[in-house]
């Protein structure tokens, strides 16, 4: 909670301004994968981007990585608008943010050794490193692959799933980025190494002041790991705020549903029965058809993304009465 609050005053490492992405399907139908959206990640901050499949969270992450070009809007990394750069300038600017992917098997070239994978990342640094081999070994040890030298000449198929996920993180930090964008980095990993991966990311933040944008479908991870949580539904952010506040007391009915749907090892009953409804789509709130708390106006009016209590924002009429100042 400390870092999140302190960092609000500083400038964001990454800022998406009103980015929007529409896909046109073969039959001519248009899908607005990301509606005009703002997102900022501050220095040293861990932001969890949460939502179900189809919520637009991965498209938004790809826009942030400048892998996907938004139809409108700006992507600002370290003060520079990435969309206005030439391909060469973009390549250089982009080294300041590094991705960690979900599928650690597909994330590497199978014909490159661990050393080559890391050397390429190390070469992205502003200050050149004379001895790549030693530096690569040092980074491997930092992510818990010890002794580092023993891994340098291996290929990624010779590593276990957990080791590969660490290599993915090693490659990301080798470029000395200011921001890591990790798309579901835990979903391929075994349960017992989940804590190791999260601790590793926390260590790297402490050591380098790294910022982390963490994309996940698991809201319970967001609660324990992130400073701030951003919840997306059908291409729009529906709630945003300090993770411990949002999860302790979700403002948006969708966030409430996501939280209740996580099967807890302590609560024997699934508490979602009274949170599930199905009614016809409206023209107003995107969540209307699934919302237990919907009123008449929700069918026809789109709720604003308002700033309500506790410095959090949510897109729901229910919160209107709670407006502070």
Partner 1 sequence: MSGQVPLMQVEDLSIVYEIGKRKVHAVTDAYLEVFAGEGVGIVGESGSGKSTLVRALMALLPTTNARVTSGRIRIGDRHLDMANIASMQRLRGHTLAMVFQDPLSYLNPLMTIRAQINEAVRLNDPDADRTVRARELLDLVRLPHRSLDAYPHELSGGMRQRVLLAIALGCRPKLLIADEPTTALDVTTQAEILALLKEIMRELRMSLVLISHDLGVVASLCDRVYVMYGGRVVEVGARDRLLARPAHPYTQALVHTARSVKTSDGKFVTLRGEVTAMPDGTGCPFLSRCGSARVDCGLEVPRLFAVDAPSHVARCVLYSAAKT
Residues forming contacts to partner 1 in the complex (CB under 8 A) are 52-53, 160-163, 190-196, 198-199, 202, 217-221, 223-224, 257-258, 260-266, 268-270, 272-273, 276
Cβ 77 to partner 1, closest distance in Å?
29
- For the bound state, the minimum distance from the C-beta of residue 156 to partner 1, rounded and expressed in Å, comes to 16
**Nearest CB to partner 1, comparing residues 53 and 127:** 53
Cβ(239)–Cβ(255) below 8 Å: yes
- CA 132 vs. chain centroid, Å, equals 30
**Would you tell me how many other CB atoms lie within 10 Å of the CB of residue 107?**
17
The CB-of-75 to partner 1 minimum distance in angstroms stands at: 27
Dihedral sign from CA coordinates of 102, 123, 128, 98 = negative
CB of 193 to partner 1, least distance (A): 5
Three-class DSSP labels, the chain: CHHHHHHCCCCEEEEEEEEEEEEECCCCCEEEEEEEEEEEEECCCEEEEECCCCCCHHHHHHHHCCCCCCCEEEEEECCEEHHHCCHHHHHHHHCCEEEECCCCCCCCCCCCEHHHHHHHHHCCCCCCCCCHHHHHHHHHHHCCCCCHHHHCCCEHHHCCHHHHHHHHHHHHHHCCCCEEEEECCCCCCCHHHHHHHHHHHHHHHHHHCCEEEEEECCHHHHHHHCCEEEEEECCEEEEEEEHHHHHHCCCCHHHHHHHHHCCCCCCCCCCCHHHCCCCCCCCCCCCHHHCCCCCHHHHHCCCCCEECHHHCEECCHHHHHHCCC
Smallest gap from Cβ 81 to partner 1, in A, equals 34
Cβ closest to partner 1, residue 120 vs residue 218: 218
Of 269 and 324, CB closest to partner 1:
269
Q: How far is the CB of 274 from partner 1 (least distance, A)?
A: 11
Q: Look at residues 228, 204, 196, 200 and name the one whose alpha carbon lies nearest to residue 214.
A: 228
Q: Among residues 84 and 160, whose Cβ is nearest to partner 1?
A: 160
CB nearer to partner 1: give 188 or 306. 188
CB of 255 to partner 1, least distance (A): 12
Considering beta carbons, is residue 190 or 281 the nearer one to partner 1?
190
In the complex with partner 1, which residue's Cβ is closer, 5 or 270? Answer: 270
Q: How far is the CB of 191 from partner 1 (least distance, A)?
A: 5
């Amino acid at each position: 909670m400390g870092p999140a609050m302190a960092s609000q005053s500083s400038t964001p490492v990454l800022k998406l301004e009103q980015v929007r992405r529409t896909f046109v399907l073969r039959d001519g139908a248009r899908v607005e994968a990301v509606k005009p959206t703002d997102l900022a990640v501050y220095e040293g901050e861990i932001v969890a981007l949460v939502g179900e499949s189809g919520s637009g969270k991965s498209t938004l992450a790809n826009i942030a990585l400048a892998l996907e070009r938004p139809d409108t809007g700006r992507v600002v990394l370290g003060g520079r608008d990435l969309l206005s750069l030439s391909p060469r300038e973009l390549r250089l600017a982009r080294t300041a943010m590094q991705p960690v992917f979900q599928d650690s098997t597909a994330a590497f070239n199978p014909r490159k050794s661990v050393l080559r994978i890391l050397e390429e990342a190390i070469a992205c640094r502003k200050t050149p490193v004379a001895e790549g081999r030693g530096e690569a070994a040092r980074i491997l040890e930092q992510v818990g692959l010890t002794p580092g030298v023993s891994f340098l000449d291996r290929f990624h198929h010779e590593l276990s799933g957990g080791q590969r996920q660490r290599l993915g993180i090693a490659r990301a930090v080798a470029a000395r980025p200011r921001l890591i964008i990790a798309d579901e980095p835990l979903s391929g990993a075994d349960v017992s190494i989940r804590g190791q991966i999260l601790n590793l990311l926390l260590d790297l933040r402490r050591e380098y002041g790294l910022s982390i944008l963490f994309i996940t479908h698991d809201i319970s991870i967001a609660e324990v790991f992130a400073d701030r949580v951003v919840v997306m539904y059908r291409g729009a952010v529906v709630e945003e705020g300090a993770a411990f506040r949002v999860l302790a007391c979700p403002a948006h009915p969708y966030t409430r549903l996501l939280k209740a749907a996580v099967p807890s090892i302590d609560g024997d009953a699934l508490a979602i029965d009274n949170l599930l409804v199905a009614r016809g789509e409206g023209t107003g709130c995107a969540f209307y058809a699934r919302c237990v708390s919907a009123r008449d106006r929700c069918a026809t009016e789109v709720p604003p993304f308002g700033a309500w209590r506790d410095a959090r924002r949510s897109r729901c009429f229910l919160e209107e009465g709670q407006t502070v100042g």
